[in-house]
Amino acid sequence: MTSKTTGKKTGYLLGAVAGAGVMAAAVAGAGMRMPEANAGQLQGGLIKASTAPIFAPPPGAPMSFADIFDRVSPAVVSINVTSRVSAESLRQIPGFPFNIIPRQPGGGEDGGDEGGQTERGQPRLPTQQSAGSGFFVSADGYIVTNNHVVENAEKITVVLKDETELEATVVGRDEATDLAVIKVKGGRGPYPFVNFENAARPRVGDWVITVGNPFGLGGTATAGIVSAYGRDIGETFVDFIQIDAPINRGNSGGPTFDVYGRVIGVNTAIFSPSGGSVGIGFAIPAEVADGVVKQLINGGRIERGYIGATIQNFTSEMAEASGLGDQKGAIVADLTPGGPSARAGLQVGDIVTSINGQAIRSSSELTRQVARARPGDQLRLEVVRDGRRQNVTIRSGVRPSERDLQASNDNSAPGSRTPGAPGAQTAPQPPVLGMSFGVLDQAARQRLSLPAEVRGALVESVNQNSDAATKGLRRGDVITRANDRAVTSAAELAAVVEAAKKAGRTSVLVGVYRGGRTSFLPLKVSG
């Protein structure tokens, strides 16, 4: 199972619990994140009643969670969402657009849609139903849930514990943390609500209880323990809490409580090879959720620090290739032209080892530290450049929205390239690191749509038995850096490789430009 962005073994639980019948995969609803779902089977036999516990609970375990459930469950709600199926999803259905089933005239919320068409004569996209969970955080009707539960909602219905149904509207959403706030319409309150616990969080091994709407079964409680803190599942701004209390489709946005009935997390993801709960769930920590929720309720835009740099993990293999022992950190792969980092003098290939005196062990840690900064804050980065340590001070900017950043990345990347004829060769050159190289001249730039500022050694072929081939290099890639220096030709790359061999290193750290982006990876010198 892999996530949609990182390839890590996690996924969004589809919190949508479809109504009657089987819904096409393309119109599956929003809700908790996960990979492909397989139907479970009930096994088993006779359920036998017992008047006494069959076994004693573990030491320290409560005999019952009933008192906690009675106190907190009125604040937990089921969220039913009606949303419009995206055209992109429908394109994946054979026969689109001719297999759209229009809504009946006079039926549903689009009553006047005769023939299932818009005013411009285009077919109106069908709707889908999905479900998730949420919880009141104020007496006047504010509810916390996941962003992916409500992000495409056209209609939101909140179902209370007593089965009262209320309409709700979106107050604010934050894609980066997958959090959202909605508010019920009307003045029926005050509503029962619960509070976030930001200080005395449970220890690993302490009991927790979740309440939510799995598979449309509202008001469902499950119990377990805190399994771990600080889980990185590929999300940029959140170190997740791992719990083993069973959570499933529809639990998205529901709360995880400690044994005092305080919210310690917001359920958002599971790891599941089978599609159901296997006891590995993830919740957004209360300290993250509380800050985001308060900003959304106050109508404020979620502002995060920004330095305008693309970074990646600096791994132990990269450190060995660079002669830096066991150094951890984040390596700068690209800079946004005119951005805060570029203005401050940060360079591609710099290895960031600390920020404001706090050690950095990964790209995620650096991203989260920068995000916590306020626009205008001074950020002092310690970097390793050309084998020497130095400081770079950057004034934080304002991070664009995730959608704007993605659009910027898409626009900066010319897209998939299919290299044409080899570039001009002045003379045959011997392979380096299992690759043959051509000249990066004007003809090659036009053929590959390479910007003028990209300089390096142009890969013309890759030996399929080499480490370079194993790690995905291909014709049309441009090697821009090797270890701590820029390279512009195969000869310069070969010189770096020879120097690495003489120094007793087994690999060389190279920067590879492809599709508008640079990535670093170590290549074995024997390749």
Q: Please identify which residue in the block is written with the tokens 């060995």.
A: 320
- Are residues 84 and 100 in contact, defined by beta-carbon separation less than 8 angstroms? no
Do the beta carbons of residue 204 and residue 226 sit within 8 Å? Answer: yes
Burial class of residue 39 in the structure, from the number of CB atoms within 10 Å of its CB (0-12 exposed, 13-18 middle, 19+ buried): exposed
Which are the contacts of 192, defined by CB distance < 8 A and separation ≥ 6? 74, 75, 136
Report the distance separating Cα 456 and Cα 490, nearest Å: 8
Which of 298, 296, 267, 275 minimizes the C-alpha distance to 76? Answer: 267
Q: Is 519 a catalytic residue?
A: no
Is 178 an active-site residue?
Answer: yes
Written in H, E and C, the secondary structure of 465-522 is CCHHHHCCCCCCCEEEEECCEECCCHHHHHHHHHHHHHCCCCEEEEEEEECCEEEEEE
Q: What are the C-alpha distances in Å from 75 to residues 89, 147, 206, 217, 291?
A: 35, 19, 23, 16, 20
Alpha-carbon span 298 to 171, nearest angstrom = 9
Name beta bridge partners: 228: 242
| Encoded tokens for 379 | 């950020």
Candidate list 130, 252, 363, 489, residue with the active-site label: 252
What are the start-end ranges of the H helices in 179-315?
Answer: 286-297
- Catalytic residue (one of 113, 174, 178, 350): 178
Confirm whether 162 is a catalytic residue: no
216: left (phi over 0), alpha (psi -120 to 50) or beta: left
Instruction: Name, in order, each residue with C-beta under 8 angstroms of 65's C-beta and a sequence gap of 6 or more.
Output: 209, 221, 223
Alpha-carbon span 405 to 5, nearest angstrom: 14
Segments in 40-186 forming alpha helices (H): 66-72, 87-90, 147-150
Segments in 73-228 forming alpha helices (H): 87-90, 147-150
Catalytic entry in 78, 148, 350, 484? 148
| Torsions phi, psi for 269 (to 5 deg) | -155, 160
DSSP SS3 for 260: coil
Tell me which residue has tokens 């029926």. Answer: 188
Which among 319, 295, 325 is positioned nearest to 174, based on CA atoms? 295
List the catalytic residues: 148, 178, 252
